[in-house]
Amino acid sequence: MNNLQENVDDYLRHCQIERGLSNNTCIAYRQDLTNFLIFLKKEKITSWPTKAIDIDAFLAELRDENKATSSISRMISSLRKFYQWLVRQHIQKLNPMQEIDSPKKQHLLPVALSVKEVTTLLEQPDINKKLGIRDRALLETLYATGIRVSELINLKFTDLHTDLGLLKVFGKGSKERLIPISEVAISWIEKYQKEVRDGLLLSVGKYNDYIFLNNRGGSLTRQAVWQIIKHYCQTAQIQKNVTPHTLRHTFATHLLENGADLRVVQEILGHTDISTTQIYTNLSQKHILEVYSKTHPRI
């Protein structure tokens, strides 16, 4: 077993010095290989396994411990690279990792808020305060359009066509698209502009064409918007794992639940591949089943 530990130490020195890998990567490799050594010691295996069945037994134990698929994938990757090094160093002749497949990635459904949760969230900002008006306008815009946070912070007033109820958005790869925006969201943007934004720019003596600004008249950052959303989710006592994309997911899910065409939702979201949009159909199908079970007289 001492020889095995020496091999691991030599490999990690090789990773750090010769390959120039980061400390974090080397720490991850050490952790994975140490766990593998613990397994070998427990199984009284004194040399590096040459049969895939032994590696599979180790991976099965990780699954029994309910390790995440991502953790098991990382372990397989670590062992694969390590065994390649063992073969190059002529420590091993056989590489059992060639017979080990990585687990399929888990496609987790995005979190979406219910209509009641969205309503509660939108009502959280204190509209008696200037920042509260801005935050209400910001949240209403995100939910009304499904745009990304990065798209929101780059919105300019020249992108807003109130007479047509349309918003011009520059998405990934600077691709431009025109999408609908609700009258409710427009009214809150206009209220924010008249009662807060214009006066703010006058007081700081700046000009800024971006719609949503911080309290110093500068542009908002993605991190700032994320903190705003996180704060109001906490005050609304929403228990779900909310991310900056949650309102985008919610927007798409609610459209599909109410009968929107998948291609239309794809166009609004700016997805180049419809398969990216199709993940939301799983959420809407769940809603359909719930409605069916509640409303069908023979259930």
What is the side-by-side order of every strand in the sheet holding 166-170?
160-161, 166-170, 176-180
Contacts of 224 by beta carbon, 8 Å cutoff, 6+ apart: 214
Contacts of 144 by beta carbon, 8 Å cutoff, 6+ apart: 181, 182, 184, 185, 251
Q: Catalytic amino acids?
A: 148, 172, 245, 248, 271, 280
The pair of three-digit structure tokens given for residue 214, joined into one six-digit string? 């911080």
Q: How many CB atoms lie within 10 A of CB 132?
A: 15
Contacts of 270 by beta carbon, 8 Å cutoff, 6+ apart: 169, 171, 172, 175, 177
User: DSSP class of residue 261?
Assistant: -
| Element spanning 180, H or E | strand 176-180
| Element spanning 166, H or E | strand 166-170
User: DSSP class of residue 242?
Assistant: -
